[in-house]
Structure 1
Amino acid sequence: MPSIIHFTTVHSRTDTRIRVKQVSTLAAAFGQNVELFVQDGCGDEIDATSGFRIHDTGLRPQRRISRMTKGAWRMFQEIRKARPQIAHFHDPELIPVGILLRLTGVKIIYDVHEDLPRQILAKSYLSNSVRKILSLAASSLEWLAAISMNHIVLAGATLSHRFPSKKSTCIYNYPMVDELTVNALEREDSNSKQFFYVGGLAKTRGVVEMVQAIDHVTDHEASLSLAGPFQPKELKDEVTREPGWKRTAHVDWIGRKDLAVALANSAAGLVTLQPTDSYLQSYPTKLFEYMMGGLPIIASDFPFWRTILDDIDCAIFVDPLKPQEIARAMHWILDNPDKARKMGEVGKNAVKERFSWDIEARRLVELYEDLLAA
């Protein structure tokens, strides 16, 4: 029986924070007593790199309400049967499952990836009244988690104001050192004119402005590469009508190895999220991945992001709502390749020294050692 189980009904079994970083780190520290429980209908497997077992609890229900009820109940039954010492979950909708498992004597960790109440308030397709009600419900649910769980893991310090400091720990989603580094043979073009974005493609994430920006770049060899799903899917129809789409390549998903190659063959990374409450104080993973990949960054001019990169000359800050300003930053990158390359080197060194997963991994293992000993 496993001593430690991570579980999710929402995230993919390939999720980088869960599988590649956290579960792999714990498997290295605690051996085969660590497992990952998912719900995707793809069957069980053994992680080829770290050797831990991934247990599939069945096909995820398609409808959200069914996933939150039938899917969650199925997950609860599987974990109760396994009887771990610690269970660590990653989805707010599994808070009731966490509470039930806590009542059976399992030590529970709730991993808060994002500021859910603020995210709900930014969902423009919902009416103001519905947004407020759902945001309040999410806040109440997480308050219940705060008092019920053994520990809370936070993906960023800006989430800490909602949880008791005595039972919460920040585990930042920093990249693993050298994970996104490729050899010379995989670097197709050291003078690339491709601008790259990885992550969900939504209006609030600036996808429309990025496509508009590439159309303003006068060097017609310059291109835009987008890696991630459109949210919602219907948004793609709108974006493909933009003139800049002719200079845009898109894939719905990219693996870690292909991501490394894409970074190595890009001129700069884009993180031009729009100034919503949920992004103004965020720690975007892609920011640090671009740095690890040695890319200069074109980033939204948020005061908080400036504090993160205060003494690191690796980014050009722009107004994310102005495509022509993004385009001017692209022009600068193309016109100053040596300076841009130096910015990328500075960013990569900063990740190795200050923003690497190695630091977070030690903190995660120490947390588990304390909980297992308690």
Structure 2
Amino acid sequence: MGGPSAAGPGAAQPRFRHLTSVHEVDDSRILHRECASLARAGHDVAVIAGRPPSAPVDGVRVVGVGRCRNRLDRMTRIAWRLLRAARREQADVCHLHDPELLWIGVLLKLGGCRVVYDVHEDVPKQIMSKFWIPRWARRALSLAAWVAEGICARIFDAVVAATPSIAERFPAGKTVVVQNFPSAAAARPLDDALPFSERPYAFAYTGGLTEVQGVRQIMAIATILPRELTGVLAGWFDAAELEGEVRASAGWRRVEHLGEIPPEAVLDVLRSARCGIVVDHPISNYLDSYSTKMFEYMACGIPVVCSDFPLWERIVGEADCGVLVDPLDPPAAAAAIEQLAKDPDEARRLGENGRRAVLERFNWEAEYSTLDALYRRLA
């Protein structure tokens, strides 16, 4: 991933700073994909985060400004601290990762800094499914987000969109698509990989344990499967009430929950399973979005059992790497998982097809070249 520095010989090194009030310091997209890759390529890059001060992570310097007390505090006091830290760092380019930092981006732009807005999600659609926002307020807030993003996109210097569908909402001349694909290294076969027939788990799930990501359906699937077929979960709950309900369910006794684990440990978990599942609900924010975990499953060479969204159907169908199911039909998903567990040769074939697709197309190295080209243009 190496390369020359962004500045020419004898020129001052441009300072690129990534700002986030919402995400953890070691967020996979912000730090492990974007910042770590940019640092290895010779860019002067650091993360300014709404978290306590931290040592460098994956070769990237971290500037922590303190943890927030609540959402309002995060959007005001912490955002203001991020702005002050960016100014102290004398940042030439500020790369924002949260919509609540748009107003900070405008102030940075007025101060002469170049600003990039990284759009991880379709925010107007995402707001419509936020459980903590009253239903009566969602439509108005969604419209406000759409207007704010549209105005700021025209003020800022560039927009980085996580998916092609998100990119369609922003000015084409300023927008690039940088997708959350795994590294090609993650897809390289391991000599000591467990044979499918010897793997301890019938299925694995990694990521948020939320209602709309199908945690209730996952519990129902675990209950339906034959007793010898169990699952493993690596993820976190976003609501205490939901967590209590899920932990009390019959399905919880049929899975092993590892909690939130480091990114490098996720791959080992996946390689201990015979398939990976993604049963996101058919809400507007998911129907046109990629699932990062789906590509991680493919990279690890395990078949995917996933929601039958048209976009996902095209990806899985073209790669021939899994089974599509109605995400709200646990018996259908359980039947697919059981069939893969009983036919390790077919599971291996589908898994290898997915691995090949990652190596040839769905890998971070191809996406990084787009980000690097943007940075060299801004520099």
Please give the TM-score of this superposition, normalised by the length of structure 2: 0.92
Equivalents in 2 of 1:256, 1:263: separation in Å?
11
Q: Provide, for residues 85-124 of structure 1, a one-character-per-residue CA deviation record: whole Å limited to 9, x for no partner.
A: 1110101100111110001111100000001111111235
Task: Describe how 1:121-270 pairs up with structure 2 within 5 A.
Answer: 121-124=128-131, 126-179=133-186, 183-184=190-191, 187=194, 191-192=198-199, 193-218=201-226, 220-270=227-277
Paired residues, what number? 366
Equivalents in 1 of 2:101, 2:145: separation in Å?
12
Equivalents in 2 of 1:282, 1:370: separation in Å?
28
Task: Describe how 1:1-374 pairs up with structure 2 within 5 A.
Answer: 3-31=15-43, 33-41=44-52, 43-47=53-57, 49=58, 51-57=59-65, 59-124=66-131, 126-179=133-186, 183-184=190-191, 187=194, 191-192=198-199, 193-218=201-226, 220-372=227-379
Equivalents in 1 of 2:224, 2:31: separation in Å?
40
> Deviation at 1:125?
5.2
Instruction: State percent identity of aligned pairs.
Output: 36
Paired letter, 2:142: S
> Deviation at 1:75?
0.7
Paired letter, 2:204: F
Paired letter, 1:337: P
Paired letter, 2:49: V
C-alpha contact (below 8 Å) 1:4/1:87 kept by paired residues: yes
Equivalents in 1 of 2:215, 2:232: separation in Å?
11
Equivalents in 2 of 1:194, 1:330: separation in Å?
7
3-state SS of the aligned residue for 2:217?
helix
C-alpha contact (below 8 Å) 2:205/2:276 kept by paired residues: yes
Q: Provide, for residues 31-72 of structure 1, a one-character-per-residue CA deviation record: whole Å limited to 9, x for no partner.
A: 4x211111211x24223x4x3311112x22121111101100
C-alpha contact (below 8 Å) 1:181/1:260 kept by paired residues: no
C-alpha contact (below 8 Å) 1:215/1:244 kept by paired residues: yes
3-state SS of the aligned residue for 1:366?
helix
> Deviation at 1:161?
2.4
3-state SS of the aligned residue for 2:365?
helix
Q: Provide, for residues 292-332 of structure 1, a one-character-per-residue CA deviation record: whole Å limited to 9, x for no partner.
A: 01110000011111122332111100011011111111111
C-alpha contact (below 8 Å) 2:187/2:355 kept by paired residues: no
Equivalents in 2 of 1:232, 1:254: separation in Å?
19
Equivalents in 2 of 1:44, 1:247: separation in Å?
37
Distance 1:14 1:164, change over 3 A: same
Equivalents in 1 of 2:126, 2:54: separation in Å?
33
C-alpha contact (below 8 Å) 1:187/1:261 kept by paired residues: no
Equivalents in 1 of 2:18, 2:376: separation in Å?
16
- Shifted more, 176-185 versus 222-231: the winner is 176-185
Q: Provide, for residues 130-165 of structure 1, a one-character-per-residue CA deviation record: whole Å limited to 9, x for no partner.
A: 111221121122112211110000000011222111
> Deviation at 1:180?
6.1
Equivalents in 2 of 1:362, 1:105: separation in Å?
26
> Deviation at 1:233?
2.4
Q: What are structure 2's unaligned runs of at least 5 residues?
A: 1-12
Paired letter, 1:122: S
Equivalents in 2 of 1:354, 1:169: separation in Å?
17
C-alpha contact (below 8 Å) 1:182/1:260 kept by paired residues: no
Q: What are structure 1's unaligned runs of at least 5 residues?
A: none
3-state SS of the aligned residue for 1:62?
coil
> Deviation at 1:19?
0.6
> Deviation at 1:16?
0.7
C-alpha contact (below 8 Å) 1:6/1:89 kept by paired residues: yes
Q: Provide, for residues 162-208 of structure 1, a one-character-per-residue CA deviation record: whole Å limited to 9, x for no partner.
A: 21111000000100112366745574975223311111111110110
Paired letter, 1:140: V
C-alpha contact (below 8 Å) 2:21/2:78 kept by paired residues: yes
Question: In angstroms, what is the RMSD of aligned CA positions?
Answer: 1.7
